[in-house]
Structure 1
Amino acid sequence: MTEKSISTNNLTDNNDCLRVTSEINTCNDIKHWSNFSQWIHCMCVITFDLNIGQALEFVYPPQFVPSETETANICYMAFPDSNSGCMGDTKFHIRLRRIHKESHNGNLKKIFHSYNSDCISALRVDESHYWGFVYFRQKRDANLPRGYFQKSFILVTHLPFCNLFYNIVDQLAPKYFENGNSIIEEACDQINRLWPALQAGVSLDLQLFDNIYKINIPTISGKKCSTGGQKTDTIGKTSLNAFSTKILNSVNELELYQCLCFTLENLYTLWELVLIAEPIVIVGTSPADCSHMVHSLVSLIAPIEYCAEARPYFTIHDSEFKEFTRECGKTPPPVILGVTNPFFIKLLKDWPHILRLVDNQVKTFKF
C-alpha cells in the first residue's frame, strides 16, 4: 500500500513537472514567433466536413489558434456562398472582429504602437480586428463523397496590406495544395527568421522561398527613415540571381479602375457617401468582386481615414449579423457590406445605398 502511494505521488510530481515544463515551452514558443507576429498572426486551412460543414483543419503556428468565435467566423467566410458557383481558384479578403484577450507578447503592443505613430492612417495596425486573405479552391473530384474538392488557405493578419498579402497568398496557396502543410510551416519559419522588423519609411526586402518583395511603407511626414530595418541574413550569402524580385509600389492599393470603371458617372456621389460614412451594401456574384469593390470604395477618400466599419465579404453566419442588419435597431449602421447571398437583397431592401454587381459590373444601383 505504501509503495503504491509513493509511486502515485511520484507520478503526480512528474505530471506537475511536465505541465510546468510545457507551459514554459509554450511561452518560449510564443516569444520565438515575435518577429513573425509583427507581420502575420497565423495561417489557416479550412476544409469542408460532411458532418459539420466548414471546419478548421490546420493552423500554424499552433500557439496562435483563433478563439472559438473567431474560428467560426473564419470558417464561414472562407468559402463563397453556394449560390456563387465559384469553380477553380478564387481570391478574396475578409475582415473580422477580434475577440479581446490578454496579449501573449507585451512587446508586440509596443512595436505596433511605435509603427502606428509613424505610418499613414490607412496602413495602421488595428488590434481590434483581423484581416484574412483567402485562396479558395473548388474542383470536381469523383473520388470524394460530394463530388467536389473544396478547401481554403487563409493568411490572418492585423495589417491591411492587401496588395502585399494577395501576392503572398498567390505564391503560397498553390504550393500548399501541391505539397501540404509542410509548405506553411516552412513559410512561417522563413518569415520569422528572414523578414525585417515592421517599420515605416524604410525600404524593406521580404524574402519568401525564391521571391523577394520590395516594399516601402509610407510615413505620415512622407520622409524616409535614416536607419534601415533589414536583417543581415535576409539575402546575405545567396546570389540575387537565385531570386525573382517583385517591386510593390504600394502595400495596400489594388487596381481601382478595374472595379470602378463601370460606374464612373457615379464616382463623385460614391466618394461623398464614403466620406460621410453612409451605409452601403455591395451585392455581388462572388466574394472576389465584393471584397475588391468594398476596398476600392474605402480607397476613394484616401489619404483621409475611413472611420466607419467596412466588411469586404459578409455572410449570414457572421457573429455580428444582427448588429449590422438592424435586427437590434431601426437605423442602418455606418458600414459598407460586401455580400453575395440573395437573401440580403430582401433583408436590406430599405438600406439607402445599394450597388448590385453582375460579372464584375454595376448592373443596378440606388443612392
Structure 2
Amino acid sequence: MELGSGGMEAPGSPPGGVGGSPGSRRPWDIFSAWLQCVCVVTFDLELGQAMELVYPQDIRITEKEKTSICYLSFPDSYSGRLGDTQFTFRMRRSVGQRSCQFQEDEKYNREAPVTLQVRIPSRSNLTEGNAIEDPHQEDPLDHPWHITGIHELDLFRSLQSVLMNLQLLWELVLLGEPLVVMAPSPTISSEIVLALTGCISPLKFYSDFRPYFTIHDSEFKEYTTRTQAPPSLLLGVTNPFFIKTLQHWPHILRVGEPRMSGDLPKQIKLKKMTKLKILDTKAGMYTSYKPYLHKDKTVMKQLLKGLQKTLPSSTLSSILRRHLFELTQSFILPVERYMGSLMPHYSSITAWKNPPQVRPFQQEELMKTLEHTGPQLGSGIKGDWMGLYRRFLKSPHFEGWYRQKQREMSQRLETQHLQVICEANIAEWIKNKSEVEIVDLVLKLRDKLLRAHRQHLPVSATSLQRLGCHIDAVICSLPEDLQSILHPN
C-alpha cells in the first residue's frame, strides 16, 4: 500500500476533500484524507514485480513511485501461513495541507504520529457486493472510532530473549537513544520494536520508530550516513547488509530465533561494540552504554515462578507490563508533581485581568526537589537516579511530554479564567466604565467564547450560555450606533 499524508485529496473528489456535504461524498472521498491509494503488486519469476491494480483507478502515480512501491512490496521470504495478517501503518502528518497533490513533504509533525492496526481479510471474507461503491451505506467514518492500540501485543513473547537486559533497554528507550534491532524475520523485528515503544508507558513515545526497515526505504541514506549522528529512532531490520552500514550506531540489538534454555529462551548477552563483526555476528546487545540503575531481579523471579506454574503467556505479559508501567510511573511522577507546583493558585485568577502565567520550568529547582521526592527514596532499584533524570531532561520524550503538559496547563488556566468570568457580576463592573472599555470587554468576551468552542474547553453548556447572555446584556447597555456595529443582525 502507498500511504498519503493528511489533507490529500483523491482526483474526482469534491472541493476540499472531506469538506463536501455527506450526501455528495463517497466513502473513499472521505478516507482519501488518510490513504492515497491501494496498490496490488504481483511477482513474476521472469519479469519481476509488476503493479497489477491501483484503486481508485484514476489515481496518478509516477514511474519513480511505481518502482519504489514494487521494490517495497517484495516479500522478504516465502510464507505459506494461512489466516489473518496484521499490518502496522505509520502516517506522517504534514504541518499544513499540500499545495500539489504529489509534492514531497519536506516537513511533518513528529509530535503527532498516527498509528493504525488493521486486519487484511482473505478473499472468503468478501461479499459479492462492494461496500465501497454503495452510496446509500452509512458512512462509518462519520462517527468516532476507537482504534486498538498497537502496543497491546504479547509483551512476554516479544521480549522473552532480552529479559536479562530489559532494564538497560528501558533506559535506552526512555532516553530516546538510537537503537537498531537486527532480527531474522520482519515479524520478530516488528514485535520487538513495537514492544519497546510501549515499555515506557504511561509516558508517550515521542521518538520515531520503524518496525521493519529495508534498503529501499526513502530514509536509507539518512539513517546510514556517517556525516551526522544517528537520529532518535528505533529501527528494525533483517538484512545482514545493515551490519556494515549501521556499524556506527551506538546501540545494536542482534537477536536470533528463540531457543529454549531451561524455562526461559536463551538470553541475549551484553557485548562491547568492538565485538560487532560484519560477517557472522552473534546474537547480543552491542553497546558501550553504562546503565544508571542496577538490575531489578524481582520481575525475573516473578516470571520464572510463572513459567514453573505454566502460566499462559498473556499472564506473564501482564506481569511484565505492570512492572514496566510502575517503573516508568515512579520515574515520571515526581516530575509531574513539580510541574503541578508551577500552576498559579485558583484564587489568583480574576475576571477583569488576563489569567496569570505558569511559572517557568527551572531544571535545577526540579533537581533539588527530586533529592527529597525522587523514586530513589522508596524504590527497591538502586543506582544513579539523579544522573538518569539529567539525561532524560535532554531527551525527545521529555521535550514532547513537557510541551504536552504546557498545553494542558494553559488550557486549564483558560478554563478556570472562563469559569470565573461566567460567574462574575459583569453588569456591576460596567457601571462606571467608558464606552471604549465596554467595547473592549465585549470583544474580549467574544474571543473567549470562540476559543472555548474551538479548543473544546471543559466548560458546561450552561456556563457558556450564561457568558453569551452577559455579552448581549453588555451590548444592550451601549448607545444604538454601537449596538448596530456589535450586533449587525
Q: Is 1:56 aligned to residue 11 of structure 2?
A: no
Counterparts of 1:65 and 1:190 in 2: how far apart (Å)?
24
Deviation by residue 1:58-113 (Cα, 9 ceiling, x = unmatched): 232335566665554443332333xx454546755465768984487xxxxxxxxx
Query: 2:217 is paired with a residue of what secondary structure?
Result: coil
SS in 2 for 1:46: strand
Paired position in structure 1 for 2:235: 337
Structure with the bigger RCO (C-alpha within 8 Å, sep 6+) is 1
Distance 1:257 1:74, change over 3 A: farther
Contact residue 284 and residue 356 of structure 1 kept, 8 A: yes
> What is aligned with 1:27?
13
Shift of residue 338, structure 1, vs aligned partner: 1.0
Are positions 1:293 and 2:192 aligned together?
A: yes
- Kindly indicate whether the alpha-carbon contact (under 8 Å) linking 1:61 and 1:188 is maintained by their aligned counterparts in 2: no
Larger radius of gyration: 2
| 1:259 counterpart (138, 142, 158) | 158
- Taking every aligned residue pair, what percent have the same amino acid on both sides? 39
TM-aligned CA deviation for residue 311 of structure 1: 1.1
**What amino acid maps onto 1:160 in structure 2?**
T
Query: Could you tell me which residue of structure 1 aligns to residue 285 of structure 2?
Result: 365
Are residues 1:80 and 2:75 paired?
A: yes
Provide structure 2 residue ranges, at least 5 long, that are not aligned to the other structure.
1-9, 18-24, 102-108, 260-267, 269-282, 288-489
Instruction: Deviation per CA, 1:272-325: give whole Å up to 9, x if none.
Output: 111221111111111121122211111112332322221111111222111011
Q: Which residue of 1 aligns with 2:205?
A: 306
Counterpart CA distance in 2 for 1:25 and 1:339 is: 35
Q: 1:311 to 1:350 in 2, by over 3 A?
A: same
Supply the distance in 2 between the matched residues of 1:303 and 1:190 (Cα, whole angstroms): 41
Distance 2:13 2:44 in 1: 32
Aligned CA distance change for structure 1 residues 190 and 27 (closer, same or farther; 3 Å): closer
Could you say what secondary structure the match of 2:177 adopts? Answer: coil
Secondary structure class of the residue paired with 1:76:
helix
> Contact (CA 8 Å) 2:189, 2:212: kept in 1 or not?
yes
Residue 223 of structure 2 corresponds to 324
Match in the other structure for 1:197: 142
1:365: how far off?
A: 1.7
* 1:12-67 Cα shifts (integer Å, max 9, x gaps): xxxxxxxxxxxx98134964224434665543322224566333322323355666
SS of aligned partner of 1:285: coil
Counterpart residue identity of residue 365, structure 1: M
Amino acid at match of 2:130: E
Question: Larger % of strand: which?
Answer: 1
What root-mean-square deviation, in Å, do the aligned CA atoms of Structure 1 and Structure 2 show? 3.9
Secondary structure of 2:70's partner? helix
Residues of 2 paired with 1:318 and 1:285: CA distance?
19
Q: Would you say the 8 A contact 1:310–1:337 is kept in 2?
A: yes
- Provide, for residues 257-286 of structure 1, a one-character-per-residue CA deviation record: whole Å limited to 9, x for no partner: 220122122222212111221111111111
Cα contact 1:46–1:57 (8 A) shared by 2: yes
Q: 1:342 and 1:254, CA in 2 relative to 1: closer, same or farther beyond 3 A? A: same
The answer as to whether partners of 2:11 and 2:58 remain within 8 angstroms in 1 is: no
Q: 2:41 aligned to 46, 57, 61, which one? A: 46
Partner residue, 2:130: 186
Checking the alignment, whether the CA contact within 8 Å between 1:282 and 1:294 is kept in structure 2 is yes
Partner of 2:277: none
Q: How many angstroms apart in 2 are the aligned matches of 1:310 and 1:87?
A: 28
3-state DSSP of counterpart to 1:333: coil
SS class of match (1:358)? coil
Distance 1:64 1:86, change over 3 A: same
Q: Which residue of 2 aligns with 1:277?
A: 176
Question: 8 Å contact 2:179–2:249 — kept in the other structure?
Answer: yes
3-state SS in 1 of match to 2:180: strand
Query: What code does the residue aligned with 1:54 have?
Result: Q
The answer on 1:36 being equivalent to 2:22 is: no
C-alpha contact 2:51 2:70 (8 A) present in aligned 1: yes
38 and 101 in structure 1: CA distance in 2 versus 1, 3 angstrom threshold: closer
Gaps of at least 5 residues in structure 1 are 1-23, 105-115, 127-158, 205-215, 218-247
Secondary structure (helix, strand or coil) at the match of 2:204 reads coil
TM-score, normalised relative to structure 2: 0.40
Structure 1 pair 332–50 and aligned structure 2 pair: CA distance change class (3 A): same
